[in-house]
Amino acid sequence: MTSGAGWEEQVFLPITNSISSEDNNQIKIGSSVSIEYNQNGQHVSQIDDKGLHNILVLTGYAIDESTGELVPTFDPCDYVKGILISGKILKGNHFKIIGIPSNKLYIIRKKDVHGNITFSLPIKNFNTGTYQVDLRDKVTSFVSLDRDVAKTIVDNVLAKIYAKIYNSLNKEQKDKLYRDVEEIFNYYSIKSLKSNP
């Protein structure tokens, strides 16, 4: 990070049941979103021998797990947690936040984060003139990650984004990372009442 110039452009990757890694430094979220990360990028979220740091909590949003898009719900109790990584959104509508002071973001397990951050997040239907969100017959429900999913996310996604540091961790440190991911990440998922009779 160059002093004063801010971080490289970041993408918010929600850590949920619906992420999977693809070839070519890509991550797929649901059916509609693809993210490309920079293998050697300056990620705001970091891994070290003590676990995962700088996790962003987005309140007032829930995730549509089928499409991978975030939905503004206007309920301050809804939230989605994720990581900020250097990269860009290849596919999917998105919302770009330019130069937000990092101290305005709700970041947990903070370590060495300062200055302004520019990031994008995948969002539902941002391509009409007047933005509309349709919440009829929608509910949000709390979702947590079980140990197996947490392990899969670490082995398939985080291990690739943070390849260099991940490969230097010993078994105990990797176990700590599995536990971190299982314990830290949970979120609200948006669902249609009609599809859950």
Interacting residue ranges for its own copies, rule: CB under 8 A? 57-60, 72-76, 78, 93-101, 104-106, 116, 123, 126-127, 129-140
Do residues 44 and 85 make contact, with C-beta atoms less than 8 angstroms apart? yes
Quote the CA–CA distance of 155 and 166 in Å, as a whole number: 9
- Please name the helix (run of DSSP H) or strand (run of DSSP E) that holds residue 147, with its range, or none: helix 147-153
Looking at beta carbons only, is 129 or 197 nearer to its own copies? 129
Quote the CA–CA distance of 102 and 84 in Å, as a whole number: 11
- At its nearest, how many Å lie between its own copies and the CB of residue 7? 13
- At its nearest, how many Å lie between its own copies and the CB of residue 8? 16
Looking at beta carbons only, is 57 or 184 nearer to its own copies? 57
Nearest alpha-carbon partner for 89 in 11, 153, 190, 167: 11
Q: Are strands 26-29 and 19-21 parallel, antiparallel or unpaired?
A: antiparallel
Looking at beta carbons only, is 44 or 150 nearer to its own copies? 44
- At its nearest, how many Å lie between its own copies and the CB of residue 159? 29
**How many CB atoms lie under 10 A from the CB of residue 108?**
12
Looking at beta carbons only, is 97 or 149 nearer to its own copies? 97
Looking at beta carbons only, is 95 or 166 nearer to its own copies? 95
- The Cα-based distances of 56 to 8, 27, 34, 64, 127 in angstroms read 16, 18, 19, 18, 25
Looking at beta carbons only, is 21 or 102 nearer to its own copies? 102
Quote the CA–CA distance of 145 and 113 in Å, as a whole number: 26
Quote the CA–CA distance of 135 and 47 in Å, as a whole number: 37
